Structure 1
Amino acid sequence: MPLNFSVNFSRLGPGNTEVSFDLVAGTFSTAQSGVAGSVPTLDYDAICTNGHPVAFSLAQVWDAPSFTQSPSTNVNRVVVQAPSCSNNLQGIVRLEDNSGSVVGGYQVSGSFEFATTQETCSLTTEYGCPLGGGYSCMENSSGTQQCSPNTCVDLDSQPPVTEDINTDMFQDDGARASDGTCLGQMLIFSGRSMRCDKAGVSTAFQNCCKNTGKVLADDTGDSGSPTQAITQLFDALTQGKSEYEAALAAGAPTLVASNLAANKATDVMGDYGAVMNPVAMAGAVVDYFTQSCDQTSTETGILNGSGFCYEIGEYCREKWEFVGCVQKSKSYCCFNSKMARIIHQQGRSQLNTIGGFGSPENPDCRGLTPEEFQSIDFSKIDFSEYYGDLVPDTQAQMTDKVNDGITDFFNSAQ
């Protein structure tokens, strides 16, 4: 719908005045003292979601109610910077006193009028966009219904193009000799390609890559159960969610329900040998299950927040014809422990057989072969980030735990 508004300023003459104003904040500022003014507060999203221009209409005399002196008619009113979506609806105007008087006793004033288009969705029997039926209503960042920046798409006749990464993980299922020795290719510290969805159509425009804090911890980085910790994490969250919803239904306060959910999820993960932070787990259960985050995004967000993942980059996971990318995602290589991630992140650069971690669309998270593992100079690996998790152990104990963890990982793959 059309939106007309004005910004008004006045100061007692003689002299010129320049004023900066912010239509989003509804404020103004100037180097001169004694300036009276009024600035409206506008909804940036309602105007700028579809990039509507803000057009200057006219400038005229303004009689400020706080002054008893009359406004001068010998004023040149100049728009130095027009407000626009590109400058966050901020403008600058100048009032030039052309009276030639040195006595004063009059107002140097101006009313600057602008016009634009504001998109709001009015609630009658249902939300309806004033741009027409080709647009739907959606919540903006302030929770107000506004017109979507994209026209509606018939996904039956124009199916979306989805490009997802392969999140399968290498399994310990190769052929073995009678004595249990692996007959195939051994891989040490294998990772898993994972992704989380940014705000988009698949997440109801919620950010599923948010960091909820450190939930998982490993104090040796061994191979006994962290793989299960990755694959069973969603099961723990699901059971935590059930506990949370049951507690709320029984009338428990949110804080109590969160703690019960955290305890349940922690118990489940404890069955797989993972060390967890109950407070962070409570936040994870509530945050992810009150948003539209899928299993992969949930697992990735928690593992990444715990320091188990290396971020590779961003890619478009879903595209709509005539619209473009409607769902962006971040891809990662996630490992069974923080120590495994550190070894991969710093050790791969020493090898000429594996290189980097692939591309965002096709991550390379394979484990290290025994030959690659033995080729790494561990004296060049900085484990200080991992040592922080081992406090209050002594420096010698920290070093022993790191060395024992590496040895255990290698020996378990024999």
Structure 2
Amino acid sequence: MPPPIAIIGGGPCGLTLARLLDCKGIDYLVHERDESEQSTHTGGSLDIHPETGQRALREAGLYDEFKKYARYDDTVFTVADKSGKKLLRIGQRRDAPEIDRRELRKILLHAIPREKIKWGHALKSATLGEDGRPVLHFTNGTTASGFKLVVGADGAWSKVRLLVSPETPHYTGRSYLESRITLENPHYPTLTAQAGAGTSMAISAHKIILTQRQGDSSYRTYFGLPVPEKYFQDKANIDLQDPQKTRDVLLSTHFADWAEVHKDLIRHATDFRAWPLYSLPEAEHLGWKSVSGVTLAGDAAHLAVPNGEGVNLAMKDSLELATKIAKCGVENIDQAVREYEEDMFPRGAKTIREGNVMAEIMFSEGPEPLVELMTSFGAGSE
């Protein structure tokens, strides 16, 4: 017999849920698309908040391990304009340390029994069987069924979502172009002297340059642009397979009038990767009619434009769902899901709304709206 719970997705959301269920003595199985733990991952640094991500790690008994990798000095956040003038610098006062996504995943993976994860299981589709319970169809040709609950923690393009909701993500009109500057890069000594710890953001003409230090001391730089959805797929616009041509387009078309300090980030950028920004539709009340044996968590439930809350709310979802299942018992798992969803829906709707507001502020004509917002939160310049 299969375990009562199947978790689709082995990211921070799914693995947090798995660890919490493990702590509560509830059986489960994680299905992850990667072939192994060593599979290459994209993704930068995450700030983990006290009442959401950190709380979940405490409940999972992993907070002390988390602290070994948490970077409290990288909570510094600087806002500048296109001339390079720094308008705001927030000090190291927030209890929201940074950790690389891969390190967080490693902590969670190592806390879960190996036999509880089925690698190489990318979900192709999910259907409802004759008994009304989900049947999972994987791209490797296998199927699985008989679970009391399937949790879709499979991200923005969740296949499980289709069992409970017809909503699909829409393009927000904005994209990031991610790049790297490693320690071996000739610009690295200059950049580390200029940027130092934490995150730096410059805004002008609805465009962004965001630079963030990583756990290995390298930097990721994100060039935010208001471009069509397929812009980076059309080589007539930009050819990401040709780094020099990509740099030339950025310098001549998008950031031609920015200061040299910003242009240097383009001239030395490597490893370009497009990141179009999607969101689920904004609604006053996110939600769907509860479906027996199915629920969603994290981006699968409430994908929003990045606003600093994504992974934190995903881990909170996992904590709340595990808590409800433990309280109601596996024999009453549908009741646990209904209670979880009742609490999750308004939380998800709020983060989608806040993500849209933050996108408007970040992709403004200039940095002043962001400075004003940060100042309203009590943040001051050092």
TM-score by length of structure 2 reads 0.28
Question: Which structure has the greater CA radius of gyration?
Answer: 1
More helix by share: 2
TM-score by length of structure 1 reads 0.26
